[in-house]
Structure 1
Amino acid sequence: MAGAALLAALCLGGHLLVPAGAGSSPPRAGARDIASDLRVSLPLQAYQLTPREQADADQALQLLVRSCMERAGFTWYVPAEPRPKPDPLARRYGVVERRTAERYGYHPPADKSSGEIARRRERILSEPGADVAYFGSQGAKNADRNAGKNTGRGGAGCASLAQRKLMAGADGYRGDIGAQLSWVSLEMSRKDPHVISARRDWEKCMRSRGYRYESPEKAIADPAWHLDSPVVGSRERATALADVTCKETVATVRIWSRAEGAIQRRLIRENAARLNETRRGLEAFRRTVRAVLGG
């Protein structure tokens, strides 16, 4: 379970925003406080991998896969350096960075290298016997049936062997605990009176600029943006920029993150035993990643 949760965490992207120092009754702030709005952190981050650690862990996993594949007589493509991972906090409250809104609108920033990496690995797996080496015998059969979506759990292939080796000694790390509590806190924060008021202020600001969205979530989820397409239109950029401007004007991010920070501290106290176990396992996992990268 811990390994599956970890690998899921390694694949997570997106952004989340929250400033340190959270009070239960945050004061209103004007545009002069924009910079502090964007410096964000949440208490539960202490029980999860940072974006840099996610990149290092993914690199370590692929290096272990490569060693295993080479022993089986195959190559495996691993970039020379860990690939940067997006900050998982930067889109928690929607788009908040002006430069991102101007360039990408509501689209996630483009990842130009992942497609090429996937194509290189697909070419390797098309070689006779390579899929069995990677997935394991049962996993290769499942991969055939599922068009390559198998995760290697079906047998002792290099994918599952590398995962087990990376997680060795880190049984206490349950990456799903921190993530689960994080989503709980986000849902709870939407009911906080200060957050409700801040979201209403954001809606009024957007309405004054000609945009009718009930919430930041509704704005980013507008089907008109076609987020599954790489094309970003001028209307989308303009809307996202207005969205960010309104968040700056009424201090949406500061108010929301402070409220959620208080909720997370309470959840940490209530789940101290499980989270302490998670922290110990996470430290063991970090040591293994450093050893793999150093070796």
Structure 2
Amino acid sequence: MIPFRATGHPKAAVVLVTAAVLMTGGCSSSSPPSSRPSGPKNAAVVMPEVSSVPRLITAADRALPVAPYLLSDQQSDELTAAQATLTEQCMARFGFPYKSPAPAPAFRPRTPTEFRYGVTDPARAAVDGFAPPGSRTVPTPAEPPSLSARTTLVLTGTNDPHVKPGSKAAGGQVYHGRKIPVGGCVGEARARLRSDGPEAGGDAELSNDINIDSFETSRKHPLVKAVFAKWSRCMRARGFSYPDPLAATGDSAWRTSTASTKEKAAARADAECKKQNNVVGVWYTVDAALQRQAIEKNSAALAKIRKAIRTRLDLAAAVLAE
């Protein structure tokens, strides 16, 4: 399973391990699409040495090394608000009293690492099962307002179904003596915030790769495999047979609107066995070590990403301050 973020916009920075229950999703730097971790995507990774492992019940209060190169929920919200403001200002110039739709409400963990390694609180798991409250339901987005052809043209730069709305291929027409910006008012707002790159305002591909790859690779590390084996034996003693925590979390039996009695029992056992065997401490330590290794290899590209994030946030702050 690939970890992912569930928010009002497509951001892949926050990772949730509730497989088959939650979903992913960016606002981020304008790094070029070629900015990927060094070496082929599926190249063998040298497993880092781990000298000491803290005892952790949860990693919710622990940041991962890649965090500075990804947008937080708050930062994404600021960029979204600034883009909405700029879009509305542009539309007003063309005589349209346009109001940007509010992002659909969605589940968000308290921190990016709160559920990265699955459930960790036995008491909460006994009540909620594997999915935190609010995470089982995919929010239904509000019905988009019906816009006239003229409004759509100015907003997105096109009425042509073969042209991507808001893209650089749209716009350029003249409406009431004013030239429609590239990508329409949406494109203008994105460009003002430096959000018109390949990620379309999402987290940089390199940052996302490091965040996801470290999680996937950590499961193959000898220390993590060993602690998973201990966890599995602990689960068997409680009547549940799974090779690792992801298999327990992703059991298709849990794909229900509410947690069953069996799911609650399994989730509680999962959290208790993690605590008993320091699964989170080992897993987080290896995950973080892999990220530090990747960050060191890609330090120059990541420095540009961090600078771009800062620039975009400064631009957004200036817009919102007005």
TM-score range, shorter chain: 0.7 to 0.9
- What is the correspondence of 1:59-208 to structure 2 with a 5 Å cutoff? 59-72=81-94, 73-77=96-100, 85-86=108-109, 87-98=111-122, 101-107=125-131, 109-110=133-134, 115=139, 118-119=141-142, 122=144, 124=145, 126-129=146-149, 130-138=151-159, 141=161, 152-153=166-167, 155=170, 156-167=183-194, 175-208=204-237
Does residue 1:24 correspond to 2:28, yes or no?
no
**Which deviates more from structure 2 when the two are superposed, residues 194-203 or residues 230-239?**
230-239
Q: Per the alignment, in what secondary structure is the counterpart of residue 116 of structure 2? A: coil
Displacement after TM superposition at 1:90 (Å): 2.6
Aligned to 1:243: 270
**Which deviates more from structure 2 when the two are superposed, residues 93-102 or residues 210-219?**
93-102
Q: 1:112 to 1:211 in 2, by over 3 A?
A: closer
Aligned to 1:213: 242
Give structure 1 regions of 4+ aligned residues with deviation exceeding 6 angstroms: 111-114, 168-171
Gaps of at least 5 residues in structure 2 are 1-7, 18-47, 171-182
AA aligned opposite 1:262: A
Gaps of at least 5 residues in structure 1 are 1-6, 17-21, 144-149
Q: 1:234 to 1:277 in 2, by over 3 A?
A: same
Aligned residues: 265
* Contact 2:60/2:112 (8 A) holds in 1: no
1-structure distance, mates of 2:54, 2:135? 36
Aligned to 2:61: 39
Q: TM-score, normalised by structure 1?
A: 0.74
RMSD value over aligned CA atoms? 3.7
CA distances 1:27-85 after superposition (whole Å, capped 9, x unpaired): 474xxx536x54322111121112321222222223333333444514324559x9985
Q: 1:23 to 1:55 in 2, by over 3 A?
A: farther
2-structure distance, mates of 1:58, 1:232? 34
Q: Per the alignment, in what secondary structure is the counterpart of residue 75 of structure 1? A: coil
Percent identity of equivalent pairs: 26
* Contact 2:190/2:196 (8 A) holds in 1: no
Aligned to 1:232: 259
Displacement after TM superposition at 1:12 (Å): 5.8
Which of 70, 95, 110 does residue 48 from structure 1 map onto? 70
Q: Per the alignment, in what secondary structure is the counterpart of residue 39 of structure 1? A: coil
* Contact 2:106/2:139 (8 A) holds in 1: no
Give the structure with the larger helix fraction. Answer: 1
AA aligned opposite 1:101: A
